[in-house]
């Protein structure tokens, strides 16, 4: 009898109930007890679904008001001292650590407590492995202490038990918790904290046992990473210490194969192991060979990272053998937590029914696990109808003409080496572009978007509801574009943008217009805290039935004599921020998108647009978890970018933009994209990051961001000039551009205009001094 369970489920609520409650609470429109009630309701509904699906446990501890790593900081009592917490409750602490506390609140607070607690920067946030989820980064120093902290986990367990559920709590493992944290003092290795941390975990496990818990799931996803030897060795020690302290431990690894960590993982003194049988299916046989006789194996057969229906027939074939071998020691589950997929297909009433029938979101994945369990337990015939329906859906997807477009496949197959290269080298292109554009030294520009004002958002909402006709909406957007152009002219910027007023989102906007993409109405996935994204679904061969941006950009260009930059999202970012089909390599899908973007680039060029920016903010995110897999990815990713960009004449200037701060380890691959100009985020690091570009001798032009658009603060001309001087010391001034860090859509117009005015002034000052010294 196989045990069926899940590693975790979405917590934002099927209608984003948690998001709206959090935002109300932060605005002071809801009190803590109402927020807690919302959390409780979401958990109960999730547990009810798990029980209804026939799972053997309900998972507890996967809920968080903001983030699960943050909750572990509280659970383990290691809030950084800089927050100066005294008697605040756990919820208050959580939100101060997650969101920081504004200086403004500090001014007259009158509480008598100095500084820290009321003037604290939020914890840093970073991506959870290769997902689009962001966790809050624990901070560690020599002085970090651990002690029994927040009670919520134990309360949630009691709550589940009181409601008649059989809970299996989940914890983030001690090694993953430490590994993902940041060392805040020099000359110190966070692994030294393990001995201090383990007794606190031991105490938690003992309490769980006292609460009557039989199994606890401990997540150690770092087992799918390249681990330093000392970290790998520490696993053995840690789990020796924890084994026997409490309930049976199911150690969960996910997001990739174990590879060199396999021997360690499999020998750990724990009662069971969970493996990701979707991303590491080829490793399953080895795991089973090596698995000690007494251990449980939880096989993650349903893809927790994607939205496609599982081929249940094929999985059952595989599981049948395992079941014979392992008997009751076989557990089945999704590959990882379902946090990374939308909650339910049920409300998707506008999805094309054929495509909808190919999909499974979190609720439907629970159903799949239930079918597999029943089939193994009572025989396939007991779920014959469900299996037949599943087989039919799988078959329909495999053969559908909606998925396969011979013309697209043919185009990809026909790609030649020179399709991925500009006609001339950068040096020659630069001359042709300069002759055409006549830009001053240190040209000024922006990254694309201008403030998405309440008026713009209202117009879009009314258009969606049918209250504005297409023509009325178009006219409203044209007015916004004209306004943006006039403001940029008044500011004296050299290269203008149209401002992206007509775009809801940089991926969705294109996804809506490309064939092969489907958009959901409610397919929200948590990104961090209350923020959610709604990734498009790439179900079929991608092509561009008609131009997507030409009319807007050409209109903007018609208003001014200054060059207007065309603005597109690049193929790697489109891929990275979507759910991608799993029936062909990602690389293939990326090439198809690249060709669609290439068509758009060429149409913009034909319409007289001299500069085209192809944004790739997600280029780095696509890096595989294991370093040995990086180069292969970077090769196809940079090629896809070049295919999108290389159809144009020498005199057309291609820009790209990336907005994160770690590129030094992939500089050769960024150079391999061969954009004429790259704009990047650097202001927050005080231009430190540029040294990498300087040392590497980045060959083309660079626009290091000279001010941080994430903050409403208006930088002074002096500050910007200082940053520019630092940049000019590293990058030859004839290849230096002047621009903010990223797009301005989240800002308001007054601060945007003030900051850009200072930016233009700083550029002019430096231009004069560069000219003077030349």
User: Would you please indicate which residues are annotated as catalytic (active-site) residues?
Assistant: 710
Q: Answer yes or no whether residue 659 interacts with Zn ion by CB under 5 A.
A: yes
Nearest 10 degrees: Cα torsion 653, 659, 661, 665: -50
d(CA 510, CA 223): 36
Of 622, 216, 175, 677, whose CA–CA distance to 439 is shortest?
677
Closer residue to ligand GLN in complex, CB, 82/487: 487
Task: Say if residues 615 and 448 touch (Cβ distance below 8 Å).
Answer: yes
Task: Tell me the C-alpha to C-alpha distance, in Å, between residue 353 and each of 221, 358, 396.
Answer: 36, 9, 12
Q: Which stretch binds ligand GLN (CB under 6 A): 68-76, 724-732, 738-746, 748-756?
A: 738-746
Closer residue to ligand GLN in complex, CB, 393/484: 484
CB-CB neighbours of 690 under 10 Å = 24
Q: Answer yes or no whether residue 594 interacts with ligand GLN by CB under 6 A.
A: no
Task: Tell me the C-alpha to C-alpha distance, in Å, between residue 618 and each of 16, 548, 654.
Answer: 25, 21, 18
Supply 75's token pair. 């659970």
Closer residue to ligand GLN in complex, CB, 226/505: 505
Q: Which of 586, 657, 721, 747 binds ligand GLN (CB under 6 A)?
A: 657
Q: Answer yes or no whether residue 578 interacts with ligand GLN by CB under 6 A.
A: no
Q: Which stretch binds ligand GLN (CB under 6 A): 190-198, 342-350, 643-651, 739-747?
A: 739-747
Residue 745 near which of ligand GLN, Zn ion, none (CB within 5-8 Å, type-dependent): ligand GLN
For residue 528, the cross-strand partners are 531
In this structure, what DSSP letter does residue 435 have? H
Closer residue to ligand GLN in complex, CB, 68/549: 549
Supply 357's token pair. 């029938």
Secondary structure of 91-117 in HEC code, one letter for each residue: HHHHHHHHHCCCHHHHHCCCCCCCHHH
Smallest distance, ligand GLN to C-beta of residue 741, A: 9
Smallest distance, ligand GLN to C-beta of residue 351, A: 27
Supply 29's token pair. 């429109």
Smallest distance, ligand GLN to C-beta of residue 754, A: 19
d(CA 500, CA 743): 10
Q: Answer yes or no whether residue 743 interacts with ligand GLN by CB under 6 A.
A: yes
For residue 308, the cross-strand partners are 359
x/- string (CB under 6 A) for ligand GLN, residues 617-656?
x---------------------------------------
Of 250, 419, 390, 398, whose CA–CA distance to 313 is shortest?
390
Q: Which residues make Cβ contacts (< 8 Å) with residue 632, sequence separation at least 6?
A: 624
HSE-CB at 532 with a 13 A cutoff on CA atoms is: 26
Of 717, 731, 730, whose CA–CA distance to 763 is shortest?
717
User: Which residue's CB atom is positioned nearest to ligand GLN?
Assistant: 743
Task: Say if residues 604 and 549 touch (Cβ distance below 8 Å).
Answer: yes
Binding residues with ligand GLN: total (CB under 6 A) = 13
Q: Answer yes or no whether residue 567 interacts with ligand GLN by CB under 6 A.
A: yes
Q: Answer yes or no whether residue 153 interacts with ligand GLN by CB under 6 A.
A: no
In this structure, what DSSP letter does residue 53 have? T
Smallest distance, ligand GLN to C-beta of residue 648, A: 19
Phi, psi of 762 (to 5 degrees): -65, -45
Closer residue to ligand GLN in complex, CB, 540/571: 571
Considering only residues 496 to 525 of the shown chain, the ones binding ligand GLN according to CB under 6 A are 500, 506
- Angle at alpha carbon of residue 332, lines to 524 and 373, rounded to 5°: 100
Considering only residues 446 to 485 of the shown chain, the ones binding ligand GLN according to CB under 6 A are 447-449
Secondary structure of 479-515 in HEC code, one letter for each residue: HHHHHHHHHHHHHCCCCEECECCCCCCCCHHHHCCCE
Q: Which stretch binds ligand GLN (CB under 6 A): 72-80, 171-179, 444-452, 544-552?
A: 444-452
Considering only residues 723 to 742 of the shown chain, the ones binding Zn ion according to CB under 5 A are 742
Closer residue to ligand GLN in complex, CB, 595/742: 742
Q: Which of 742, 755, 759, 766 binds ligand GLN (CB under 6 A)?
A: 742
Smallest distance, Zn ion to C-beta of residue 741, A: 7
Q: Answer yes or no whether residue 572 interacts with Zn ion by CB under 5 A.
A: no
Q: Which of 118, 305, 745, 747 binds ligand GLN (CB under 6 A)?
A: 745
Closer residue to Zn ion in complex, CB, 178/742: 742
Q: Which stretch binds ligand GLN (CB under 6 A): 327-335, 578-586, 648-656, 741-749?
A: 741-749
Task: Say if residues 720 and 762 touch (Cβ distance below 8 Å).
Answer: yes
Q: Which stretch binds ligand GLN (CB under 6 A): 138-146, 315-323, 445-453, 648-656?
A: 445-453
For residue 134, the cross-strand partners are 127
Smallest distance, ligand GLN to C-beta of residue 752, A: 12
Residue 449 near which of ligand GLN, Zn ion, none (CB within 5-8 Å, type-dependent): ligand GLN
Closer residue to ligand GLN in complex, CB, 224/739: 739
Task: Say if residues 271 and 233 touch (Cβ distance below 8 Å).
Answer: no
Secondary structure of 334-392 in HEC code, one letter for each residue: ECCCHHHCCCCCCCCCCCCHHHHCCECCHHHHHHHHHHHHHHHHHCHHHHHHHHHHHHH
Of 174, 312, 320, whose CA–CA distance to 235 is shortest?
174
Q: Which of 219, 303, 615, 753 binds ligand GLN (CB under 6 A)?
A: 615
Burial (CB count within 10 angstroms: exposed 0-12, middle 13-18, buried 19+), residue 739: buried
Task: Say if residues 336 and 59 touch (Cβ distance below 8 Å).
Answer: no
Element (H, E) at 644: helix 630-645
Smallest distance, ligand GLN to C-beta of residue 484, A: 12
Q: Which stretch binds ligand GLN (CB under 6 A): 134-142, 267-275, 591-599, 742-750?
A: 742-750
Q: Which stretch binds ligand GLN (CB under 6 A): 250-258, 443-451, 520-528, 758-766?
A: 443-451
Smallest distance, Zn ion to C-beta of residue 658, A: 7
d(CA 612, CA 563): 10
User: Which residue's CB atom is positioned nearest to Zn ion?
Assistant: 659
Closer residue to ligand GLN in complex, CB, 276/615: 615
Considering only residues 583 to 622 of the shown chain, the ones binding Zn ion according to CB under 5 A are 617
Closer residue to ligand GLN in complex, CB, 339/506: 506
Residue 536 near which of Zn ion, ligand GLN, none (CB within 5-8 Å, type-dependent): none
x/- string (CB under 5 A) for Zn ion, residues 616-635?
-x------------------
HSE-CB at 745 with a 13 A cutoff on CA atoms is: 17
Binding region for ligand GLN (CB under 6 A): 447-449, 500, 506, 567, 615, 617, 657, 659, 742-743, 745
Binding region for Zn ion (CB under 5 A): 617, 659, 742
């Amino acid at each position: 009898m196989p045990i069926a369970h899940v590693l975790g489920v979405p917590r934002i609520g099927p209608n984003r109930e948690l998001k709206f409650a959090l935002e109300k609470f932060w605005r002071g429109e809801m009190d803590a007890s109402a927020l807690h009630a919302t959390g409780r309701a979401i958990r109960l509904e999730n547990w009810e679904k798990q029980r209804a699906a026939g799972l053997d446990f309900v998972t507890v501890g996967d809920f968080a008001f903001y983030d699960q790593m943050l909750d572990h900081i509280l659970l383990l009592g290691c809030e950084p001292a800089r927050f100066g917490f005294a008697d605040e409750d756990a919820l208050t602490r959580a939100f101060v650590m997650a969101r920081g506390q504004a200086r403004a609140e500090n001014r007259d607070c009158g509480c008598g407590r100095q500084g820290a607690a009321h003037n604290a920067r939020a914890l840093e946030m970073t991506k959870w492995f290769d997902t689009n989820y962001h966790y809050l980064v624990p901070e560690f120093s020599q002085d970090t202490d651990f002690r029994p902290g927040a009670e919520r986990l134990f309360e949630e367990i009691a709550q589940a038990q009181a409601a008649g559920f059989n809970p299996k709590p989940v914890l983030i493992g001690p090694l993953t918790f430490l590994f993902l944290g940041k060392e805040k003092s020099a000359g110190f290795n966070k692994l030294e904290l393990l001995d201090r941390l383990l007794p606190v975990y031991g105490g938690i496990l003992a309490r769980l046992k006292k609460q009557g818990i039989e199994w606890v799931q401990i997540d150690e996803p770092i087992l799918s990473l390249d681990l330093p030897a000392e970290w790998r060795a520490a696993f053995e020690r840690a789990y020796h210490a924890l084994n026997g302290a409490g309930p049976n431990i199911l150690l969960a690894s996910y997001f990739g194969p174990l590879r060199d960590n396999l021997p360690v993982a499999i020998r750990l003194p724990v009662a069971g192991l969970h493996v990701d049988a979707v991303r590491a299916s080829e490793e399953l046989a080895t795991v089973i060979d090596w698995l000690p006789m007494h251990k449980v194996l939880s096989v993650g057969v349903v893809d927790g990272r994607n939205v496609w229906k599982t081929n249940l027939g094929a999985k059952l074939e595989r599981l049948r053998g395992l079941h014979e071998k392992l008997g009751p020691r076989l557990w089945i589950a999704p590959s990882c937590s379902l946090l990374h997929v939308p909650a339910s297909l049920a409300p998707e009433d506008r999805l094309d029914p054929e495509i909808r029938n190919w999909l499974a979101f979190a609720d439907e994945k629970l159903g799949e696990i239930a079918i597999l369990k029943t089939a193994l337990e009572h025989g396939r015939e007991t779920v014959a109808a469900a299996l037949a329906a599943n087989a039919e859906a799988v078959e329909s997807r495999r053969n559908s003409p909606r998925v396969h477009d011979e013309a697209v496949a043919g185009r990809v197959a026909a790609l030649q080496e020179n399709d991925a290269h500009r006609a001339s080298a950068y040096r020659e292109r630069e001359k042709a572009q300069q002759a055409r554009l006549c830009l001053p030294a240190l040209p000024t520009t922006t990254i694309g978007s201008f403030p998405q004002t309440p008026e713009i958002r209202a117009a879009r909402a009314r258009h969606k509801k049918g209250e504005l006709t297409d023509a009325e909406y178009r006219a409203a957007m044209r007015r916004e574009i004209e306004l943006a152009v006039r403001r940029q002219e008044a500011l004296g910027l050299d290269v203008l943008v149209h401002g992206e007023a007509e775009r809801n989102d940089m991926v969705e906007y294109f996804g809506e217009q490309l064939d092969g993409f489907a958009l959901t109405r409610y397919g929200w996935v948590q990104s961090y805290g209350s923020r959610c994204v709604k990734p498009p679904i790439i179900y079929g061969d991608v092509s561009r039935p008609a131009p997507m941006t030409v009319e807007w950009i050409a209109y903007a260009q018609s208003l001014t004599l200054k060059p207007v930059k065309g603005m597109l999202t690049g193929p790697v970012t489109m891929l990275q921020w979507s759910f991608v089909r799993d029936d062909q390599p990602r690389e293939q899908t990326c090439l198809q998108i690249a060709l669609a973007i290439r068509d758009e680039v060429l149409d913009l060029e034909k319409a007289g647009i001299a500069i085209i920016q192809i944004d790739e903010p997600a280029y780095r995110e696509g890096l595989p978890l294991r370093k040995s897999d990086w180069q292969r990815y970077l090769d196809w990713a940079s090629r896809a970018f070049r295919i999108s960009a290389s159809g144009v004449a020498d005199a057309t200037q291609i820009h790209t933009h990336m907005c994160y701060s770690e590129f030094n380890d992939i500089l050769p691959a960024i150079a391999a994209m061969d954009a004429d100009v790259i704009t990047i985020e650097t202001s927050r690091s005080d231009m430190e990051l540029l040294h990498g570009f300087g040392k590497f001798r980045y060959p083309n032009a660079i626009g290091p961001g000279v001010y941080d658009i994430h903050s409403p603060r208006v930088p002074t001309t002096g500050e910007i000039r200082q940053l520019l001087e630092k940049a000019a010391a590293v990058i030859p001034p004839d290849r230096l551009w002047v621009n903010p860090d990223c797009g301005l859509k989240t800002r308001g117009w007054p601060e945007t205009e003030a900051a850009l005015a200072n930016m233009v002034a700083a550029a002019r000052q430096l231009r004069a001094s560069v000219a003077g010294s030349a």
